[in-house]
């Protein structure tokens, strides 16, 4: 029964990470869409983009950042759109690390030179199994089409 519970917990964890990664990567692919500026903040655990994410002809401001979980060493991944109320894009992140690259593949922190963004995300579940937490990870490099023409 413990093994079945562990497999169920792992499936839930992977689904949560899949949902968070889908939302994040969808937003990042819209960076620069219908605007001349794509990135306004480019930090290792925080990013802000401009892009028309809802396809209404107006650029939106989308921000992702980490917010510590109470009594934990893990984080929520928070998302805001146009300065509105933050929503939780994911929880139980042990790591969410962003790296930005210019047009020749060199790392950059200058938002005006970014052509791609690499993300490494690691989530852990809430419960330990045999003294360890279950983990799920996602790694991707995203090339927003609007800034890579």
> For 103-147, how does the pLDDT look when each residue is reduced to its tens digit (9 = 90+)?
999 999 999 999 999 999 999 988 887 888 899 999 999 999 999
CA distance 24 to 31: 11
Average pLDDT over residues 4-9: 82
* Reported pTM: 0.93
> Which token pair is 84?
């509105």
CA distance 62 to 48: 6
pLDDT recorded at residue 82: 98
CA triple 72-74-75, angle to 5 deg: 120
Of residues 10 and 77, more confidence is placed in 77
CA distance 119 to 96: 7
């Amino acid at each position: 029964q413990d093994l079945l519970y562990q497999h169920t917990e792992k499936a839930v964890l992977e689904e949560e990470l899949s949902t968070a990664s889908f939302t994040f990567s969808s937003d990042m692919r819209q960076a620069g869409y219908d605007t001349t500026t794509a990135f306004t903040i480019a930090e290792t655990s925080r990013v802000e983009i401009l892009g028309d994410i809802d396809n209404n002809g107006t650029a939106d401001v989308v921000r992702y950042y980490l917010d510590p979980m109470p009594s934990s060493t893990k984080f929520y991944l928070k998302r805001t759109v146009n300065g509105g109320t933050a929503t939780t894009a994911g929880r139980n992140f042990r790591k969410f690390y962003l790296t930005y690259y210019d047009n020749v593949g060199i790392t950059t922190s200058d938002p005006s030179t970014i052509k791609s963004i690499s993300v490494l995300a690691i989530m852990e579940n809430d419960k330990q199994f045999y003294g360890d937490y279950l983990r799920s990870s996602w790694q991707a490099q995203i090339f927003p089409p609007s800034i890579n023409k």
